[in-house]
Structure 1
Amino acid sequence: MLLRLPTSVSEARRCVAEGAVPVGGATLVWATWQRDGFPEQAMSLREVAQANVVGRETLGAAVVLHRIDERVPEVLRRAAAGVGTGAVRRSATVGGNLVGSTLRCLLPAALVLRARARVLDAEGVHETGLSEVTAKGPVLLSLHWRTPVASAYRKLPGEAGGPPPLVVASALHADAGGSRRLHVAVREGYDVRDAATVCDGGPGPALDALRTTAAFGDLPAAAWEAVRDQTTDLLHGADGA
């Protein structure tokens, strides 16, 4: 297998056009390749500057998880810190987690941040939503968002050998008109669901509105309790800040 290391977006675009398979830290695909066979050529974005940025409102796809620090919102930082072991976080990348993983541990955090993605294909670079990233598996360059008022993240304990542990992520945003909007995402098993509501009236009305959404109407009681507790703490904390 030939591993190509482009140093610019234009060079990475050529690699894609020539059939190179994108790979991050290879923490997930290596075993599959050993079983099914290696591709003729793969491509890593670790030398592309646009894919390695870590900032207040941006995160590159080639950034390894242990580099995600206080420069990004709490919800994303804590999501990254909860992935695997220290050894995994020193190898696994943002792009590999969001595009190449069925767990997608960073997805709930990215959803509540209302993140947009910059992706690369043979035609060039374009911006898209997270639904396209998870459905089509494009070459992810970076994520971008607007800083929330506050955010929170919780990963509940899981059983060894059991389904992925429950994750609840939430963020409070100030909209242009002065209203506040609460966005909540839940990973239950391999399923991630999210919903948003205006929350100018405090936790009670916001929770009632969330509970009537298609995403959270049938959420199991234990998961809803975690949503309720986190949302209440987040909104009270934002009001007291």
Structure 2
Amino acid sequence: MLLRLPKSVSEAQEYLTEGAVPIGGATLVWATWQRDGFPDRAMSLRDLPEANTIEREALGAAVVLNRIDDRVPEVLRRAAAGVGTGAVRRAATVGGNIVGSTLRCLLPAALVLDARAVILEPEGVTETDLAEVLAKRQLLLSLRWQTPVTSNYHKAAAEPGGASPLVVAAALHAEDGGANRLRVAVRSEDEVFFESAVCEGDADDVPRALRDSSFARLPDTARELVGRQVTELLARPAVA
């Protein structure tokens, strides 16, 4: 297998045109390749500057999870810190987790940040929404978002060998006109639910709106956790 390590976007485009397979941190694909055979060409973005950024409103797809720090919002930082073991976090990448993983532990955090995806194709770099990236399994270059007013994250304890642990991510965003919008994402089993609601008027309106949304399909324990996380978030001062 020939491994390509592009140092520029133009090099990465060239390697994609050659048919190089993106590998992320290779934590998910290695066992499959050992079983099914290795591709002729592979490509890692670990040396590509655009894929390694860590900023207040941007995170590169080649960033390994243990490098994610307080430069990014709490919800994303805590989501990364809760993935696997320390050894996994030292190898797994943002792009591999969101696009290559079935668990997609960072996806709820990215959804509540209203993150946009910067993708790399043979034709060039474009920006799109996360749904399209996941549906088409496109090559993620980075995530971009606007800093929320505040955010939080909770991952329930996992049963060894059991179902995927329950995750609730939430973020509060300022909107034009002075109102705030609450965005909440829940991973229950292997399904991700997402809802948003404008925060204005009665303080009970937001929890009520969420109860009447797709979250009504969630188990009781999940709905109770959503309620606690939303209540705690809305009571916070404005800290991302």
Q: Above 0.5 in TM-score?
A: yes
Please state if 1:235 is matched with 2:228: no
For 2:122 and 2:227, the matched residues in 1 are separated by 44
The alpha-carbon distance between structure 1 residues 150 and 239, as it changes in their structure 2 partners (threshold 3 A), is: closer
TM-fit CA distance, 1:51: 0.3
The alpha-carbon distance between structure 1 residues 161 and 236, as it changes in their structure 2 partners (threshold 3 A), is: same
Question: After the TM superposition, which of the residue ranges 142-151 and 119-128 deviates more from structure 2?
Answer: 119-128
Please state if 1:178 is matched with 2:178: yes
For 1:12 and 1:46, the matched residues in 2 are separated by 11
Which letter maps to 2:48? V
TM-fit CA distance, 1:218: 1.4
Partner of 2:53: 53
The alpha-carbon distance between structure 1 residues 202 and 38, as it changes in their structure 2 partners (threshold 3 A), is: farther
Which letter maps to 2:217? D
Give the secondary structure class of the aligned counterpart of 1:154.
Answer: strand
Partner deviation per Cα, 1:203-222 (whole Å, 9 max, x = no partner): 41101111222x21211111
Asked if the contact 2:118–2:127 (Cα under 8 Å) also holds between the matched residues in 1, the reply is yes
The alpha-carbon distance between structure 1 residues 239 and 43, as it changes in their structure 2 partners (threshold 3 A), is: closer
Which letter maps to 1:163? A
Percent identity (aligned): 65
For 1:10 and 1:202, the matched residues in 2 are separated by 53
In the TM superposition, what are the counterparts of 1:9-158 in structure 2 within 5 Å?
9-158=9-158
For 2:46 and 2:201, the matched residues in 1 are separated by 45
Give the secondary structure class of the aligned counterpart of 1:75.
Answer: helix
RMSD over equivalenced CA pairs, Å: 1.4
Partner deviation per Cα, 1:134-171 (whole Å, 9 max, x = no partner): 11111100000000000000000111100110000000
For 2:189 and 2:54, the matched residues in 1 are separated by 29
Give the secondary structure class of the aligned counterpart of 1:224.
Answer: helix
Partner deviation per Cα, 1:161-192 (whole Å, 9 max, x = no partner): 00110000000000122110000000011111
For 2:239 and 2:28, the matched residues in 1 are separated by 42
Give the secondary structure class of the aligned counterpart of 1:216.
Answer: helix
Partner of 1:168: 168
Q: Which runs of 4+ in 1 moved over 3 A?
A: 238-241
Asked if the contact 1:203–1:231 (Cα under 8 Å) also holds between the matched residues in 2, the reply is no
Which letter maps to 1:205? D
TM-fit CA distance, 1:124: 1.0
Which letter maps to 1:74? E
TM-score normalised by length of structure 2: 0.97
TM-fit CA distance, 1:122: 1.6
Partner deviation per Cα, 1:111-137 (whole Å, 9 max, x = no partner): 000000000112211100010121111
For 1:118 and 1:97, the matched residues in 2 are separated by 15
Structure 2: which 5+ residue stretches go unaligned?
A: none
For 1:232 and 1:103, the matched residues in 2 are separated by 26
Structure 1: which 5+ residue stretches go unaligned?
A: none
How many matched pairs?
240
Question: After the TM superposition, which of the residue ranges 166-175 and 202-211 deviates more from structure 2?
Answer: 202-211
Give the secondary structure class of the aligned counterpart of 1:197.
Answer: strand
TM-fit CA distance, 1:237: 1.2
Partner deviation per Cα, 1:23-68 (whole Å, 9 max, x = no partner): 1111111000000110000000011100000000000000000000
Partner of 2:223: 224
TM-fit CA distance, 1:240: 11
TM-fit CA distance, 1:239: 7.4
Give the secondary structure class of the aligned counterpart of 2:125.
Answer: strand
TM-fit CA distance, 1:10: 1.0
Asked if the contact 1:52–1:59 (Cα under 8 Å) also holds between the matched residues in 2, the reply is yes
TM-fit CA distance, 1:238: 3.3
